[in-house]
Amino acid sequence: MSGYGAHADHDEHDHHGPAPGLKRWLYTTNHKDIGTLYLWFSLSMFFIGGAMALIIRAELFSPGIQIVDPMFFNSMTTMHAIVMIFGLVMPAFVGLANWMIPMMIGAPDMALPRLNNWSFWIMPFAFTILLSTLFMDSGGPAGGWTLYPPLTLQMGDSFAFVIFAIHFMGISSVMGSINIVATIFNMRAPGMTLMKMPLFVWTWLITAFLLIATIPVFAGAVTMLLTDRYFGTSFFSAAGGGDPVMFQHIFWFFGHPEVYILILPAFGIISSIIPTFARKPLFGYDSMVYATASIAFLSFIVWAHHMFTTGMPLAAELFFMFSTMMISVPTGVKVFNWVATMWKGSMTFETPMLFAIGFVIMFTIGGLSGLMLAITPADIQYHDTYFVVAHFHYVLVPGAVYSLLAATYYWIPKWTGNMYDEKLGKIHFWTSTVFVNVLFFPMHFVGLAGMPRRIPDYSLQFADWNAIASIGAFGFGFSQLIFLWVVIKCIRGGKKATDEVWEGSVGLEWTVPSPAPYHTFEEAPPVAVINKNHF
């Protein structure tokens, strides 16, 4: 049934197969190879960033300072954030985009394959530079991932390396995004109209625009930091006529869209998985698209809600409070649509579906605490406490990270041709879900009761909850080794996957063989197939 998608019927040409050995990965311009590289890279960052988180939680297991110097603690919180955001979530989504978008829109490859190779291979260098700062005399960055001056300017000379690494990551992201936009606009198979695209493609299209719009702003901000530090400018120094708060405005003008960059592709993934396992079309496809676009638009006009304590004028505080509250409307629409998709479906609960449901519930918890944070007077109490830490970890860990795990379980049979071990997958889900809540839920309590974030030591009243959270952290961290095992096991063998893989799967990627051949859709799929395979 899938002869048109695979290249199997055609003559074998040398340049069609992968090159042997290491060169295959170094020189590859194949979207699937590059997607694989991105995914392995982000998985390794998941474990590196996770190890940092465990150092943090080990130190916070009990009051007093037992394990690390406070300065190293600060560089752990800083590096954990940079590694997880720029090393795990963003590259993992780019990896999924590389693998899936061409197959979802019936394209043979990405529009700009050589750019694609380059945008991946920048990343390992960027992170080598970033992580190497931990071994420099002046230590790694310790001023928080938000890099607020003047604190961040107190860093030693590893500062320049951090800025350089951030520039590299930014270049990689922008190139990746341009590639994705170019692919979606130019490479769709005839008949694959915009409103027939899977939501993963839609959310990535919008995300790519967010990245192209905001990464250069971030690059500008860190460059100004660099010149403040080394070339005697005073962009952010009041003594020279600058303003430290201006950095925060510029940073969050990037930073808030950035948090949607970390979650919009997740929305797309969940919107693919839930209909599959509910065996029912996605509810409100059009409104999902419009809601995503609205969230993206709103993300540009809410940045200062990260700055309610910086002393803005009342009018600005009111504006940013109202605009932030508005975001809950399109986000709510999405959640309601997912629930309505499940409603009266015929559900089964394989691992991808479990992670997707976990996502909807726990992302919603994070979203609701986000709504609480939008209320400015209350935010003045919540700001910079563990309540905020709980909030953004709920949307990022059982949110963004769960979507990545769900996506892996969902598509790995297509990537490897083998089914993963369902039993291990379920164990992975349940241990992760129990521990992730043990880890993050108590943070709401200590935050409300007055525990600031980014502190290596705390008062005794917070001791019990912190001990519990640390237990959760280690449980969650070690649960991810199950995931690693499942992935390796699945690559090495297992029950052969069918082309459709899932009973209720819809979309062009399920019309090609499993594993997906090295080249797919060298000939566009027929319009009839497209019309049969969209939401």
Partner 1 sequence: MKTDTPRSDRLATLEDSSGLNAAVNGSGSLNGCQLSRSRLPRFFSKSVSKSGYRLFASTLIALLLVPAAYAGYGDALNMPVGVTSVSREVYGLHMLIFKVCVVIGVAVFGVMIYSMVMHRKSKGAKPATFHESTTVEIIWTVTPFIILLFMAWPAAKVLIKMEDFSGSEMTVKITAYQWRWHYDYIDEGVEYYSQLDAEHNVARQKGAGIELERFDNYIKEVDNPLVLPVGKKIRFLHTAADVIHAWWVPALAVKKDSIPGFINENWALIEEPGTYRGKCAELCGRDHGFMPIVVKAVPQEEYDAFIQGKLSEGQTADFDTTRQWGKSELMARGEEVYGRNCIGCHQAEGQGIAGMFPAIAGSDVATGDIVRHLQTVMNGVEGTPMQSYSDVLSDIDLASVITFQRNALGNEMGDVLQPYYVDRIRKGLDLGSAVAATEPDVPDFGIGNQTDSNFLGGAAATGATQ
| CA gap 451, 461 in Å, rounded | 9
Which listed residue (99, 121, 145, 394) is catalytic?
145
Closer to partner 1 by CB, 206 or 446: give it.
Answer: 446
| CA gap 380, 309 in Å, rounded | 6
Taking Cα atoms as reference points, which of 195, 411, 391, 422 lies closest to residue 293?
A: 195
Question: Does 316 sit near partner 1 (CB under 8 A)?
Answer: no
Which listed residue (256, 391, 444, 534) is catalytic?
256
432 catalytic? Reply is no
Closer to partner 1 by CB, 186 or 348: give it.
Answer: 348
Which listed residue (16, 196, 279, 453) is catalytic?
453
Question: Does 61 sit near partner 1 (CB under 8 A)?
Answer: no
Nearest 5°: phi and psi at 84? -70, -40
Which listed residue (7, 33, 38, 109) is catalytic?
109
Which listed residue (31, 334, 383, 391) is catalytic?
334
| CA gap 110, 97 in Å, rounded | 10
The Cβ of residue 349 has, within 10 Å, a number of other Cβ atoms equal to 12
Which residues from 416-445 bind partner 1, rule CB under 8 A? Answer: 445
CB 455 → partner 1: shortest distance, Å? 3
Closer to partner 1 by CB, 454 or 489: give it.
Answer: 454
Which residues from 172-231 bind partner 1, rule CB under 8 A? Answer: none
Question: Does 65 sit near partner 1 (CB under 8 A)?
Answer: yes
Residue 359: exposed, middle, or buried by beta-carbon count in 10 A (0-12, 13-18, 19+)?
A: buried
CB 3 → partner 1: shortest distance, Å? 29
Please give the size of the binding site for partner 1, defined by CB under 8 A.
102
Which residues from 1-60 bind partner 1, rule CB under 8 A? Answer: none
Strand partners of residue 438: none
Cβ(515)–Cβ(416) below 8 Å: yes
Which residues from 125-154 bind partner 1, rule CB under 8 A? Answer: 137, 139, 142-144, 148, 150-151, 154
Which residues from 489-508 bind partner 1, rule CB under 8 A? Answer: 504
Q: Tell me the torsion sign for CA atoms 408, 414, 418, 421.
A: positive
Residue 488: exposed, middle, or buried by beta-carbon count in 10 A (0-12, 13-18, 19+)?
A: exposed
CB 358 → partner 1: shortest distance, Å? 11
Closer to partner 1 by CB, 435 or 535: give it.
Answer: 535
Which residues from 244-273 bind partner 1, rule CB under 8 A? Answer: 244-245
Question: Does 456 sit near partner 1 (CB under 8 A)?
Answer: yes
CB 480 → partner 1: shortest distance, Å? 25
Residue with tokens 């510029």: 250
The tokens for 490 are 């699945």
Give the x-and-dash track for 290-309 against partner 1 (CB under 8 A): -------------------x
Q: Give every CB contact of residue 259 below 8 A, 6+ residues apart in sequence.
A: 299, 392, 395
Strand partners of residue 385: 452
Burial annotation 289-325 (CB, 10 A radius, 16+ → b, else e): bebbbbbbebbeebbbbbbbeeebeeeebebbbebbb
Please identify which residue in 1, 26, 69, 220 interacts with partner 1, judged by CB under 8 A: 69
10 catalytic? Reply is no
Closer to partner 1 by CB, 452 or 526: give it.
Answer: 452
252 catalytic? Reply is no
Total count of residues recorded for the chain: 535
Asked whether the bond before 281 is cis by omega within 30 degrees of 0, the reply is: no
Please identify which residue in 33, 109, 317, 499 interacts with partner 1, judged by CB under 8 A: 317
Question: Does 380 sit near partner 1 (CB under 8 A)?
Answer: yes
Question: Does 517 sit near partner 1 (CB under 8 A)?
Answer: no
Cβ(284)–Cβ(337) below 8 Å: yes
Asked whether the bond before 515 is cis by omega within 30 degrees of 0, the reply is: yes
Q: Give every CB contact of residue 339 below 8 A, 6+ residues apart in sequence.
A: 360
Residue with tokens 């999405």: 334
Question: Does 365 sit near partner 1 (CB under 8 A)?
Answer: yes
Cβ(451)–Cβ(385) below 8 Å: yes
Please identify which residue in 85, 105, 210, 278 interacts with partner 1, judged by CB under 8 A: 278
Question: Does 232 sit near partner 1 (CB under 8 A)?
Answer: no
Please identify which residue in 339, 481, 484, 527 interacts with partner 1, judged by CB under 8 A: 339
| CA gap 180, 259 in Å, rounded | 19
Please identify which residue in 217, 424, 449, 467 interacts with partner 1, judged by CB under 8 A: 449
Please identify which residue in 19, 301, 427, 448 interacts with partner 1, judged by CB under 8 A: 448
234 catalytic? Reply is no
Question: Does 472 sit near partner 1 (CB under 8 A)?
Answer: no
Closer to partner 1 by CB, 314 or 488: give it.
Answer: 314
| CA gap 120, 122 in Å, rounded | 5
Please identify which residue in 16, 108, 164, 243 interacts with partner 1, judged by CB under 8 A: 243
Please identify which residue in 22, 239, 488, 528 interacts with partner 1, judged by CB under 8 A: 239
CB 422 → partner 1: shortest distance, Å? 15
| CA gap 314, 462 in Å, rounded | 34
CB 103 → partner 1: shortest distance, Å? 23
Strand partners of residue 6: 520
| CA gap 29, 49 in Å, rounded | 28
CB 234 → partner 1: shortest distance, Å? 10
The residues carrying an active-site annotation are 80, 109, 145, 172-173, 256, 258, 260, 271, 305-306, 331, 334, 453
